[in-house]
Amino acid sequence: MQRLYDFLRRHPTWVDGFWALVLLGIYGIGLVATAEGVGNDPKVASIPAAVGLSVVVALRRRMPEKMLVLSAVIGVLQLVFDVKPMPANFAMLVSIYTAAAVGERWASRFALVGGLCAAPFATMRWPSENTNAFGNVLFTMFQIVPFALAWVLGDSIRTRRAYLAQLEERADRLEKEREAQSKVAVAAERARIARELHDVVAHNVSVMVVQADGAAYVLDAAPDQARKALETISGTGRQALAEMRRLLGVLRTGEPEESGEYVPQPDVEQLDALIEQVRTAGLPVDYKVEGTPRPLPSGVELTAYRIVQEALTNTRKHGGENAGASVRLVYFDDGLGLLVEDDGKGAPHELYEDGGADGSGHGLIGMRERVGMVGGTLDAGPRPGGGFRISALLPLKPAH
């Protein structure tokens, strides 16, 4: 049964052709019955009219406008040649419905006007002899109802199809918008990963450079210290390679490698390990936490970690041999405060005047971008007594 239903849906003209044959058969039965009646002489002109109306039913969906015009012409010819209404005239209702449902707008309007005029013209052409004028008017109004209902039903079907098409179009548009937003999100994520890559390389390479210089300096006088420095260089290098491999893999494919998982993003709890690593590299750092530590949004924690990492990297690069640094992490009710200071010789003027440059032009610029992404503020510049100072305030609520 389902196969038959699917076949009929794929071949609607065959269905219409079947009903056209049924309509023509009903006319034929009526014609034979009329011919056998006593004193009845059926008009020959009714035969081509019935055949034409059957054609209207058969081709109504393939050519709705042409079949509407054909049914109107047949109706006019019936009036002219005195061919009274017959069962085949049901095709006019079908033609009006089809024109209102799938035809052009002019055809729909023509079907409405023609349907409303058909019954009055038929009453004037073939008035009832046994009914007064009021009865004829009432009978005409009843005859108009089927034509009006056929047009209303067809027009409602057209409206429903247009509404469904609008919904499908809207769904397609929303799907395209979602795809575009996904692409934008991927691009933003890759830009963030590129900044992460810069931070990883800058921090770890600077540690390796400091350790290598120290190892070369004490290589002959203190071999144990040189060996320890070389071990630090080796461990730092492996860590940098692992993070670079992970980040570059994401930039190439946008997906994690099948053989491993992403390393968790650093947070404020890992600042102890970062500062200890910096101390091992030869930079004294005083680290204090004020306020009550509590869980923070991951974006705020990552931003705080990267600011401290970048600030200490700049201190090692620009502070000089005897520079020291201090890091203050302050938990406020509505935010997280950071203060990183050093007592070195200070950074180049362009570091804070032109937005930041650490040799490649992305040091403080990256800090400002990170802070801006979480809706915070950043202040960076030289200290009055010498050295450099970086102060940041990161709100706990995202910026709107």
pTM: 0.49
Q: Is 354 helix (H, G, I), strand (E, B) or coil?
A: coil
Output the pLDDT for position 355: 45
Residue type, 265: Q
Of the candidates 86, 358, 7, 400, the one whose C-alpha atom is nearest the C-alpha of residue 195 is 358
| Residue 140 clears pLDDT 80, i.e. is over it | yes
Decide: 67 and 93 in contact? Cβ < 8 Å: no
Domain assignment present for 219: no
Of the candidates 91, 109, 114, the one whose C-alpha atom is nearest the C-alpha of residue 155 is 109
Among 94, 126, 158, residue at a domain's last position: 126
pLDDT tens column, 351-394: 454 444 443 345 677 788 778 878 899 998 888 878 889 999 99
CA 304 to chain centre: 33
- Number of domains the chain is built from: 2
Q: Is 316 helix (H, G, I), strand (E, B) or coil?
A: helix
131 vs 80 pLDDT, higher one: 80
Output the pLDDT for position 72: 95
| Beta-strand relationship, 335-342 and 325-331 | antiparallel
Output the pLDDT for position 399: 42
Domain assignment present for 383: yes
Among 87, 110, 126, residue at a domain's last position: 126
Residues 118-129, mean pLDDT to the nearest whole number: 88
Residues 31-48, mean pLDDT to the nearest whole number: 69
Of the candidates 182, 281, 269, the one whose C-alpha atom is nearest the C-alpha of residue 231 is 281
Domain assignment present for 193: no
Cα 321 from Cα 312, distance rounded (Å): 14
Residues 212-221, mean pLDDT to the nearest whole number: 76
DSSP state of 376: -
φ and ψ at residue 320, rounded to 5 degrees: 100, 180
Distances in Å between the Cα of 190 and the Cα atoms of 196, 197, 326 are 10, 10, 32
pLDDT over 90 for what percent of the chain? 38
| Residue 213 clears pLDDT 60, i.e. is over it | yes
Decide: 279 and 208 in contact? Cβ < 8 Å: no
Among 60, 91, 126, residue at a domain's last position: 126
Q: What integer best gives the mean pLDDT of the chain?
A: 81
Which tokens in the block code for residue 129? 């002899």
Domain that holds residue 15: 2-126
Domain assignment present for 388: yes
Which tokens in the block code for residue 248? 């570059």
Cα 180 from Cα 399, distance rounded (Å): 23
Decide: 301 and 267 in contact? Cβ < 8 Å: yes
Domain assignment present for 392: yes
Q: Give the pLDDT band of residue 318 (cuts 50, 70, 90).
A: confident
Q: Give the pLDDT band of residue 184 (cuts 50, 70, 90).
A: confident
Cα 340 from Cα 243, distance rounded (Å): 25
pLDDT tens column, 85-102: 898 999 999 999 999 999
| 359 contact partners, CB below 8 Å, separation of at least 6 | 317
193 vs 205 pLDDT, higher one: 205
What's 391's domain CATH number? Answer: 3.30.565.10
